[in-house]
Structure 1
Amino acid sequence: MPATQPAAPATTRFLDSGYAREARSLLYQAYRHEPTFAYLFEAERPGYDHRVRATVRELVNQHFSEDLPAIGLLVEDRLIGVALIAPPQRRLEITESWVWRMRMLLTTGLRCTQRYLDYHAAVLACLPPGPFHVLPLIGIHPRCQGLHYGEQMLEAVHAWCAGDSASQGVVLDTGNTRYLEFYRRQGYQEIGEVAIGPIREHVFLHANAPVAAHDGAPDFPTGENLR
């Protein structure tokens, strides 16, 4: 289906833990059919939806418990897009948390937990030297895809990350080939490709644009300081 203009205007804001439940539901819907998750959490085996839901829950809960930034895209106060952002100095903390690992073991099992840890390490190994933001999870609700909301979500992420002088850019990855050209159109360059079982995971970098001295990160509505 050809993309059209958004059906309704969307706004961006920083999300606090009060949005955790909505973020978990949205990201579960966005990732449950992704080929990378299908391999990591064994879609062919009974209980796949439970394992994906549990993984998204633990990642989102850990992200908010660490006070890491998250940007939301809202239409009339309804969350339609989420981007979890791991700053350069914090991008390893989630998978290094023993609490997170124990919860993953209890909900997804040893094999799926190890697959996720191996995947995470392989993606980070593709990063060039230097500090970069990483997007561990980013998604637009399936009912809102194809309406240019994805572009708006990434523009907000890029603008905020560019305001951080300690970072050189934003890194994300995908094993879904239908997204490759989309990310390239948004200014991403492929910096690596790794084998995740039968999946070819593509790692992309969006370099920060120079920020003028009077500029800075965009002023998103928020109830707390996430910097």
Structure 2
Amino acid sequence: MTQTSNAASQIQMLDSGYSREARSLLYQAYRHEPTFRYLFEAQHRGYEQRVRATVRELVKQHFLQDLPALGLLVNDRLVGIALIAPPQRRLGITESWAWQLRMLLSTGLRCTRRYLDYHQAVQACVPGDAVHMLPLLGIHPEFQGLHYGEQLLEAVHNWCAEDKHSEGVVLDTGNPHYQDFYKRQGYVEIGEVAIGPVLEHVFFHANPQVLHTETA
């Protein structure tokens, strides 16, 4: 069924009640991504199960730590999501031994190690501590190309700008199509990392001016 951008959409903060929908959406958004295909060995049997397990554990840990997540809903269906790691708490997921153990049991030692190495390499490109990061960001494939990605990112930028301790937003991608998209949204490249055969690009977007005036 073809979707249209005329459908009513809204942005809202998500809680763990959206966990199942978030996992399904992010699985669809990431399973064909070059970075995930390398990290979780798409050429070997069980790749889709490893991607599902990784997304499940990342989403579970995100909500367990009560970290923010912004969702874009169209006619009450979750079609876009951004998991947000604030400046003071952005390392918590991969530093959790419980998370690492669950990853080892569900994706294996080699894939877990690859993911941790990838995460650390991206972190090394980040310009200081005063930024928000987007560990997972996606629009459901059925709704791509309808400008919902722009709506979601605009909401993320404005939400992060409310934090006086944050200078902006950092994200990364190994997908050339998304690189051009992020540049059109005002991101600048601040680093690149070789993830096996994939060149991962790290982008930064400075916080916009908050659109309201604070009252005394």
User: TM-score of the superposition, structure 1-length normalised?
Assistant: 0.91
Letter in 1 for 2:99: W
Cα distance, 1:5 vs structure 2: 6.7
Equivalent residue for 1:63? 62
Cα distance, 1:118 vs structure 2: 0.3
Helix, strand or coil for the counterpart of 2:66?
coil
- Partner Cα distance (2:101, 2:36) in 1: 19
Instruction: After TM superposition, list the pairs within 5 Å mapping 1:107-126 onto structure 2.
Output: 107-126=106-125
Equivalent residue for 1:162? 161
- Partner Cα distance (1:215, 1:38) in 2: 46
Equivalent residue for 2:98? 99
Letter in 1 for 2:143: C
Q: Is the 8 A contact 2:171 2:203 kept in 1?
A: yes
Cα distance, 1:215 vs structure 2: 4.8
- Partner Cα distance (2:152, 2:8) in 1: 12
Q: Does 1:87 align with 2:69?
A: no
CA RMSD in angstroms comes to 1.5
Q: Report the CA distance shift for 1:144/1:215 in structure 2 as closer, same or farther (over 3 A).
A: farther
- Partner Cα distance (1:150, 1:86) in 2: 19
Q: Is the 8 A contact 2:158 2:210 kept in 1?
A: no
Q: Report the CA distance shift for 1:79/1:37 in structure 2 as closer, same or farther (over 3 A).
A: same
Letter in 2 for 1:157: V
- Partner Cα distance (2:20, 2:114) in 1: 25
Cα distance, 1:128 vs structure 2: 1.2
Of the structure 1 ranges 48-57 and 207-216, higher mean CA displacement relative to structure 2 is found in: 207-216
Q: Report the CA distance shift for 1:90/1:212 in structure 2 as closer, same or farther (over 3 A).
A: same
Q: Does 1:19 align with 2:39?
A: no
Equivalent residue for 1:206? 205
Deviations 1:166-224 (A, max 9, x none): 100000000000111110110000000010000000000000123377259xxxxxxxx
User: TM-score of the superposition, structure 2-length normalised?
Assistant: 0.96
- Partner Cα distance (2:9, 2:149) in 1: 11
Q: Is the 8 A contact 2:88 2:129 kept in 1?
A: no
Helix, strand or coil for the counterpart of 2:142?
helix
Q: Is the 8 A contact 1:163 1:215 kept in 2?
A: no
- Partner Cα distance (1:94, 1:6) in 2: 34
- Partner Cα distance (2:72, 2:177) in 1: 22
Highest RCO, 1 vs 2 (Cα 8 Å, sep ≥ 6): 1
| Identity, % of aligned positions | 70
Letter in 2 for 1:105: L
Letter in 2 for 1:17: S
